[in-house]
Amino acid sequence: MHVTDAHVEPHRLRLSGRHAVLEVSCPLPGVLRLRHAPVSSEIGFLHPELPGKRSWSVIAEEGHPLKVERDGERARVTAEGVSLEVDVESGTWRFQDAQGRELARCVEVSGEVQAAYPMSRHRARMKLRAPEGERYLGFGEKVGPLDKRGMHFTFWNTDVVPHHPDTDPLYQSIPFFVGLRGGVAWGFFLDESWRSEVDVALADASRVAWESWGPELDCYLFAGPMPADVVRRYAALTGRPPLPPLWSLGAQQSRWGYENAQDIRGVIQGYRQRNLPLDCVYLDIDYMDGYKVWTWDSARYPDPAGLVREAAAQGVRLVPIIDPALKLEPGWNVYEDAKARDYLVRYDRGGVLVGEVWPKPAVFPDLTRPEVQRWWGGLHRDFVALGMAGFWNDMNEPSCFGVQPDVGILTLTSERAEGIGQVEGKTLPYDARHGEKRHLEVHNVYALGMAKGAFEGLRELRPEARPFLLTRAGFAGIQRYSAVWTGDNSSHWTQLETSLPMLMGLGLAAVAHTGVDIPGFIGRANGELLVRWMQTGTFYPLMRNHAGKGTSPQEPWRFGEPYLTLARAALERRYRLLPTLYTLMHEASETGIAPLRPLLMEAPGDPEAAGAFDQFLFGRDLLVAPVVRPGQTKRLAYLPAGAWLEWPGLERTGEVREGGQHVIADGPLDTVPVWLRAGGAVALTRPAMHTTDANWQHLEWHVHAAPEIHGRLYEDAGDGYGESRLTELRGGVTAGVLRLERSEMGTLTRARTEEKIRVYGLTSVRKVTGARAHHFEDGVLELQVAADWTRLDVAP
Ligand code: MIG
């Protein structure tokens, strides 16, 4: 190709127009990377070459071939599964799938730069066409319903206490959405760690407008056509969430204000005395000596290793909180070491930045630099040696209550660019130095760096165990390292309801292991709210009860009866559900698709399903519509196409309802409305006081008979990287005859002592072959099968 303004390498195309430079490449089939560098008209600023860049989020290498055709001002780029038509002059484009369907159109790229000391002020903007009726789903941890059309968001990780149903920004920044129009999905990811904003067809109903405060817009476009395809591609690009240890899917208890080891013992006893399942207790900042991270207050916690052993005897793991800020205390080894190595964040003019968090004064390890991440990972050593099972990363936006003035140096009198020295939210100033970079650029990835350091450190320190991390802040890619909880919510019904779209938004960004504080961190819950929140939380991939300091106690027994009994039922349901949840977490580790899913994942062409945000799918086969409002004993639920068996609370079954309609579900306080899809098969086990392994001894399949049946079960030791087994259940009903077949893959030896299959939806049963025993009553066929069964036939 002989044009001067285009540069083609085998896998990369660079187009320089008068208004923008655009670089196109294809990291994965169905995915295009577009780096836009707008040319500033004001000062004629131009990137002749786009500088090399290391992404914080993307792990896929570029390098799938591009085919380029050039026709005057237009260029057409084709790669596997996608194509792009570029207007070279303006840097705008049209994105199409392999069928030639237009998925997205960029109608404007612009930007400006003002040179200033000490930081130039950049703005890079892009407008996407927002066709009428297109939905914009995801954006990670954001408020609002699932469809964010008509909202505006800022990406700037922020510690906000308390947050409300309309607070923005929150702790995480994930500039990724799934677009959905006419049942066809596509995706957009802005891979810029800089502070950025998006206007989702609010200011102008026909535009989605992005603005980054960095010099360029590095974005990725994903083809569908199903929402699941988009999520799969996004997860292949930014990483899939590793399978967490089984114990981390059990019940978790926490409180800011458990003062000492005796309190922790008391909590564990409280659970066990009342026969309440529990797997994990968190240690909040109260355990530290003067809020110095990696230390213990020896009066409150004289023997942490002993406490770990005592808890372990009750089947409970301990997870301490770790905050990034270090106390500035001369002589304290962690601080001295960080200072000596030059690992601390600095002021604009070079001195070590001093702020204030729980430790006062405090300094900040620069967790955006790889060498600091490695050092940080190594700091987990002593706590790992004590037997701490995982780590809870908080205050990592990073949160900073106040920055001390940069003393000892004269203030510059020359004019400074807008926003310099400025602090937005409780954090570090925009111009704080992280090595070569400024806080404005790396703020949003501070927590990602912290999680990476911790995860990789744990992999080295305890290679036989799967790391468990829980983080508050994060950026796209956080799913590779950590579970996420949504920070300081309140004990309000509205926050129970909004937890669902928020967790589904995270899930669409491949953040699979998520939960919110049950029954609210701030404020005072009552028994009804506790029960409703636990019923909903049964289906959160991370189920944690937590409470803020100074609030009334919120453990499940604090509200008396009947709430304790109902709370126990919710916990037992959670433990029964573990084979299915674990299998779904395994699926997430292979695909990026989270267990808690919006209905549109299975019914993208159904507008009612796409709009549903206070109900969800748990996997493919369970639909859950929890009661999330006070005083209600019924609720409206939407069932997408298919036939759905009422299965409230995973206990007794009811009617089969046709999908494609709203139904009124019964939901008195002891009932969680759940449905099982026709053709669905889910595995449950017996409740237990805590997890042991995921090689289930007792297994119960629940099958809703249909022409095609499919179920899956993933099993292993529950931790580590050893042997596993994947069971597939397949079959269906043809001419009244039900056939079920089981196949297995993997080397894990079966531990089954009991396996039952319950089949719903058969009208008559005459002859059963392949089972040890069977029983048919009230439309439910219960089969006892041998551990090594492979095939069943049921004739009407
Ligand atoms: O400034 O560690 O969101 O879960 O209990 C408050 C104390 C610091 C905020 C976390 C919360 C935790 C609390 N932390």
- The model carries a pTM of 0.97
Give the 3-state secondary structure of residue 571.
helix
- Closest ligand 1 atom, CA of 394? 10
Pocket-testing residue among 252, 284, 399, 551, ligand 1, by greatest number of atoms within 8 A of Cβ? 284
| pLDDT for res 407 | 65
Q: Please check the confidence at residue 41 and state whether its pLDDT lies above 70.
A: no
Distance CA(145)–CA(401), nearest Å, equals 31
| pLDDT for res 163 | 87
Q: How far is the CA of 729 from the centre of ligand 1 (A)?
A: 44
Q: How many CB atoms lie within 10 A of CB 196?
A: 21
| pLDDT for res 62 | 77
In the chain, which segments carry CATH 2.60.40.1180?
680-795
Q: To which H or E segment does residue 95 belong?
A: strand 92-97
Tell me the pLDDT tens digit for each residue of 201-214. Answer: 999 999 999 999 99
Q: Tell me if 636 sits within 8 A of 664, measured CB to CB.
A: yes
Q: Is 717 left (phi over 0), alpha (psi -120 to 50) or beta?
A: alpha
In the chain, which segments carry CATH 2.60.40.1760?
5-130+184-224
Give the 3-state secondary structure of residue 756.
strand
Tell me the pLDDT tens digit for each residue of 75-89. Answer: 999 999 999 999 998
Q: What single letter denotes the amino acid at residue 540?
A: Y
Q: Tell me if 741 sits within 8 A of 730, measured CB to CB.
A: yes
| pLDDT for res 415 | 44
Could you tell me what percent of the chain has a pLDDT over 90? 89
* CATH of region 5-130+184-224: 2.60.40.1760
Chain-centroid distance, C-alpha 234? 13
Distance CA(494)–CA(511), nearest Å, equals 23
Question: Between 91 and 675, where is the model more confident?
Answer: 675
Ligand 1 pocket, CB under 6 A: 256, 284-285, 321, 394-395, 472, 487-488, 521, 546
Q: Tell me if 672 sits within 8 A of 648, measured CB to CB.
A: yes
Q: Please check the confidence at residue 737 and state whether its pLDDT lies above 60.
A: yes
Mean pLDDT, residues 343-356: 94
Q: How many CB atoms lie within 10 A of CB 417?
A: 17
- Closest ligand 1 atom, CA of 285? 2
Q: How far is the CA of 369 from the centre of ligand 1 (A)?
A: 25
Q: What are phi and psi of 381, to 5 degrees?
A: -50, -55
Pocket-testing residue among 159, 395, 400, ligand 1, by greatest number of atoms within 8 A of Cβ? 395
Pocket-testing residue among 159, 163, 172, 321, ligand 1, by greatest number of atoms within 8 A of Cβ? 321
Report residue 575 as tokens. Answer: 């433990």
| pLDDT for res 61 | 83
Q: What is the residue with the minimal CA distance to atom 12 of ligand 1?
A: 256
Q: Please check the confidence at residue 406 and state whether its pLDDT lies above 60.
A: yes
Q: How far is the CA of 730 from the centre of ligand 1 (A)?
A: 46
Tell me the pLDDT tens digit for each residue of 527-579. Answer: 999 999 999 999 999 999 999 999 999 999 999 999 999 999 999 999 999 99
Strands 280-283 and 251-253 turn out to be parallel
Q: How far is the CA of 411 from the centre of ligand 1 (A)?
A: 35
State the pLDDT confidence band at 791, using cuts at 50, 70 and 90.
very high
- Chain mean pLDDT for the chain: 94
Q: What is the residue with the minimal CA distance to atom 5 of ligand 1?
A: 256
Q: Please check the confidence at residue 311 and state whether its pLDDT lies above 90.
A: yes
State the pLDDT confidence band at 188, using cuts at 50, 70 and 90.
very high
Is residue 398 reached through a cis peptide bond, with omega within 30 degrees of 0 on the bond before it? yes
In the block, residue with structure tokens 């285009």: 6
| pLDDT for res 394 | 98
Tell me the pLDDT tens digit for each residue of 224-280. Answer: 999 999 999 999 999 999 999 999 999 999 999 999 999 999 999 999 999 999 999
680-795 carries CATH number 3.40.50.2020: no
- Closest ligand 1 atom, CA of 488? 3
Distance CA(43)–CA(684), nearest Å, equals 65
Lowest mean pLDDT among 44-48, 144-148, 461-465, 625-629: 44-48
| pLDDT for res 42 | 45
Q: Would you name the residues annotated as active-site residues? A: 394, 397, 488
Q: In what order do the strands lie in the sheet with 709-716?
A: 767-769, 791-795, 737-746, 724-734, 709-716, 680-684, 698-704, 754-760, 780-785, 773-777
State the pLDDT confidence band at 179, using cuts at 50, 70 and 90.
very high
Tell me the pLDDT tens digit for each residue of 351-405. Answer: 999 999 999 999 999 999 999 999 999 999 999 999 999 999 999 999 999 999 8
Q: Tell me if 191 sits within 8 A of 220, measured CB to CB.
A: yes
Q: How far is the CA of 573 from the centre of ligand 1 (A)?
A: 29
Tell me the pLDDT tens digit for each residue of 633-649. Answer: 999 999 999 999 999 99
Distance CA(683)–CA(313), nearest Å, equals 28
Q: What is the residue with the minimal CA distance to atom 3 of ligand 1?
A: 487
Q: What is the residue with the minimal CA distance to atom 8 of ligand 1?
A: 395
- Closest ligand 1 atom, CA of 321? 2
Give the 3-state secondary structure of residue 75.
strand
Q: How far is the CA of 459 from the centre of ligand 1 (A)?
A: 26
